[in-house]
Amino acid sequence: MATNDFSELSRRSFLKKALTGTVATSLAGIGFPTIVPASVLGKNAPSNQINIGAIGTGRISRGHDMPGIWKHNQARIMAVCDLDQKRANEAKQLVNEYYSKKNKQPYDGVKVYFDHQELLQNKDIDAVVISTPDHQHAYIGIHAVEAGKDVYLQKPASLTIAEGRALSNAVHRTGRILQIGSQQRSSAQFRYAAELVRNGRIGQLKTVQVGLPGDPAGDEEPEMPIPKNLNYDAWLGSTPYVYYTEKRVHPQNDYSRPGWLRCEQFGAGMITGWGSHHVDCAHWAMDTEYTGPIEVWGKAEYPAKGLWDVHGIFRTEALYDNGMKMIVSNELPNGIRYEGTEGWIFVTRGDYAATASDPVAKKSGTKALEASNPKLLTSKIGPEEIHLYESSDHHGNWLESVKSRKPPIAPVEVGHRSCSTCLIHQIAMKLKRKVYWDPAKEKFKNDDEANSMLSRSQRYPYLVG
């Protein structure tokens, strides 16, 4: 595993400076510039417009990431890229049509790519949004920052803990801005719940319950001819070669939820799919954003057959060195419940859904915040109390960070720590026993079997790190 470059920083000092906006200067020594380089805005960018390339143009890109960016006048999506040529060309059409309608005149300014490396060579592109399957996140993210691009990266940060460390190190080494797409941080109820907890409104925090959606098993799927429009070898990337079948990849005729989400070869299932969201926000409230648990125990049911093999029903429990306990299960209500010595607070997305095919359907009237005492939810956070980083627009916050060079609300190290925590839970599930974690060294204690799961073998030439 890559050396943990970040462990030498003072976590609490980092957090304090991040809250006051002075962290950009303090991080200059590890790669963050204190002034805006000319390449950030592009020499020909009108009105300091940020030129964006979209890498991965499937469901989450079309329904969430590109619309989250193109609505901002300070940004322009000028390029799209996908290993599926059909999807790439349809993304070009989608973006051109949006700008034509917005500007009320014909527009054809979007360039299409089928290889992210070629897109990254375009010096007119200032930043990229990466909306690919999970197993490509760290791989492309590292390439992007090394090419001098700022990055909006869909969660989870990585497929493995080793890849996540390599990604965070690359971002700090190159001084680029990287926002993890854990957009719940930019939802008011999640920030407010964390502030209430951090300021002692429920007394001393003891237990955090995290409820996640579940994933069903599937049938065996026959081998199919690889579509001519899909670069399947590159799509598999560093993972082992397996035969093509449509439900392993993504639909060819629509943009509904893709099958790769339920294949362990490409992700870990809901423990990282939604866990990266909820665990991240839980860490925010627990003041554990730059560390992780010290003990995790877990169990899970896995499909006995079929193409889809991610975990089904599961329950994990974690202990942190400050004595707090976290329970994660898909048998709990979807959201985060903070339990303290003087009450509890429950927070969830409410009516919000990122895409139309979210696994948890949008329900009208769902309460975003609940508490043991309703008066908790009208409590004011005083001027001398803890106020957390405030953002009301996750993509907009990233664009502002690209221009100001100040850290975004979901920086790479925070995203890596929440993702790695989820992966530790998954490892405990797979081993069906308790594991002991060292957050500083990012290794399991006296456990060769668990440490062998920090990384996976990689297929040449798609190597990460």
Do 54 and 172 lie in one domain? The reply is yes
The answer to whether position 77 is within a domain reads: yes
User: Where in the sequence is the domain holding 425, given as residue range(s)?
Assistant: 187-218+261-388+412-453
Would the pLDDT of 7 be above 70? Answer: no
Residues 282 and 421 in one domain: yes
How does strand 75-81 pair with strand 111-113? Answer: parallel
Q: Both 78 and 179 in a single domain?
A: yes
Q: Which residue did the predictor score with more confidence, 42 or 343? A: 343
pTM: 0.89
Check which CATH number belongs to the domain holding 335 and give it: 3.30.360.10
Regarding whether 195 and 117 lie in a shared domain, the answer is: no
Q: 161 and 208 share a domain?
A: no
Distance CA 404, CA 271 (A): 34
At residue 187, the pLDDT reads: 97
Task: Based on the fold, state whether residues 164 and 208 are members of the same structural domain.
Answer: no
> Do 294 and 366 share a domain, yes or no?
yes
Closest CA to 180 of 263, 77, 272: 272
The whole-angstrom separation of Cα 26 and Cα 9 is 10
pLDDT value, residue 359: 60
List residues bridging with 338 in a β-sheet.
208, 345
Shared domain check, 434 and 378: yes
- Say if residue 131 is in the same domain as residue 194: no
Same domain (yes/no): 363, 381 = yes
Residue for token pair 């989820």: 422
Could you report the per-residue pLDDT of 23-56, keeping only the tens digit for each?
Answer: 433 333 333 333 234 344 344 344 589 999 999 9
Q: Let me know whether 99 and 205 are in one domain.
A: no
- Cβ contact 443:453 at 8 Å: no
pLDDT tens digits for range 183-240:
999 999 999 999 999 999 999 999 999 999 988 889 999 999 999 999 999 999 999 9
Residue 98 lies in a domain: yes
**Residues 103-145 pLDDT 10s:** 999 999 999 999 999 999 999 999 999 999 999 999 999 999 9
Specify the pLDDT at position 47.
Answer: 54
